[in-house]
Amino acid sequence: MTYEEQLKGLGWNASVPANGLINRPKDIVNNDNPDGLKTVESEIEIETTPEHLNLVSGDPSCAGWTRAYDDPGVAALRDHLRENNGIKGLEIVSPHEVERAAELFHRDGFVAVRDVLDPGQLERTRMAAAAAIRQLVENDPDYSAGGGAGGLPHRYSFGGGSASRQMLHVKEWCDLIDLPTTTPILTAIFGSADYVVGGAGGEVALPGAMEYQGLHSDNMWSELPDPYGNVTMRDLPAPVVTINFPLSDLTFENGPIRQIPGTQRSRAPIPSMGDEPDWMKLSTVCPAPAGCAVIRDIRAWHGGTPNISRHVRAMPNVEYYAPWFRSEGIMRAMPFENWEALSPHAQRISRLVVCDKGEAVVGSGFMDPRRKNREAFKDKQFKEMGEKAAREYLARL
């Protein structure tokens, strides 16, 4: 079966309430979250990542809509997006335009690069992504659990949905680490080839993911302990760069990522959904072709947009940490045999995420959007390992 055939018919479940209203009473003033990975657990049981607990309030603009392709609210939004969606004058560079790509990245906090994946690699990545998506929806047949930033329904996180918290156990994700089309650009951005891989995942928007995901800034850190309060992480060069790989064309209606140019160093408060101006909702990376790459400074304000098409939109990613930056977010999640198959450069930059030879990656191969199910799967593996081995594994994670 082709990629499209495997994913045909997913999404658009009218029985799932709009706006994620279930269990979402929390009032969010703005979407800043300086505590990052150290954020205190929310009192609301929403499946999301720690650094995104500030996004659990959902999107009020579609409250009252039915999650159906022809709902009047959905149809009106589609017409609006058809006429207005997309960053005006979006420049998509070629892989050989290394200096221009780095220039745009430093200016805007992101850059789009065409023709990054050749047709063969694009198809292999699609098939691997389809297998992961099928497992997620098998464990969430009504698509209501959601996942990723804000835990909105009809959306999933590849990394967040994996019991290992990463996708480095999948060869096709590892194959994205060192590409002739992206490695020179990463080297130019970091000013060095000594960056490291921090993880790999990505996200999925099923048809019917009609909520906007709140603008946010990914922060895989806690703020710098500057006793004078003069320096924040936003005053530094990019600490983490993520490359997203769209597996289908990004269009006005299938949930293209939105990026607010130049916000990677902004100290202004990030607006909540109720305060976000319309132009920000329309500041999306589209149109852009399948097989391209969106290279992002994760500090820049960004967010998911509605997929009100009939097709799944998936974007696997790989995360890279600057030579000078480390984070507790890095974890060993790559099997040794996957590491062995990498290029010498990919092996070197993946040295912090590779497991020992013969060591299993706990949680790998199990996808479920619900945390309790993922934890139960891992707990069973740890019990089978024995207390001492489990304790040693966790200590070195």
Over the stretch 171-222, which tens digit does the pLDDT of each residue have? Answer: 999 999 999 999 999 999 999 999 999 999 999 999 999 999 989 998 877 7
The token duo for 381 is 């593996």
Model confidence over 323-341: pLDDT tens digits?
Answer: 999 887 888 999 999 999 9
pLDDT for position 30: 67
pLDDT for position 328: 79
| Full set of structural domains in the chain with CATH | 3-395 (2.60.120.620)
Mean pLDDT taken over the chain: 92
- Which of 316, 259, 255 is CA-nearest to residue 126? 316
What pTM does this model have?
Answer: 0.94
Least confident of 29-33, 102-106, 269-273: 29-33
Which residue stretches of the chain are H helix? 3-7, 72-84, 98-108, 119-138, 158-161, 171-174, 183-190, 278-281, 336-340, 344-349, 371-385, 387-395
Model confidence over 335-390: pLDDT tens digits?
Answer: 999 999 999 999 999 999 999 999 999 999 999 999 899 999 999 999 998 999 88
Question: With 90 as the cut, is the pLDDT of residue 392 above it?
Answer: no
Nearest-Å Rg of the Cα atoms of the chain is 20
Model confidence over 114-147: pLDDT tens digits?
Answer: 999 999 999 999 999 999 999 999 999 999 887 7
Tell me the CA distances in angstroms from 53 to 43, 151, 153, 165, one per residue in order: 10, 9, 15, 17
Give the pLDDT band of residue 394 (cuts 50, 70, 90).
confident
Please state the rounded mean pLDDT for residues 247-263. Answer: 98
The token duo for 315 is 């974007």
Residue linked to tokens 């990498």? 342
Give the pLDDT band of residue 224 (cuts 50, 70, 90).
confident
How much of the chain, in percent, has pLDDT values that exceed 70? 93
Please state the rounded mean pLDDT for residues 267-286. Answer: 92
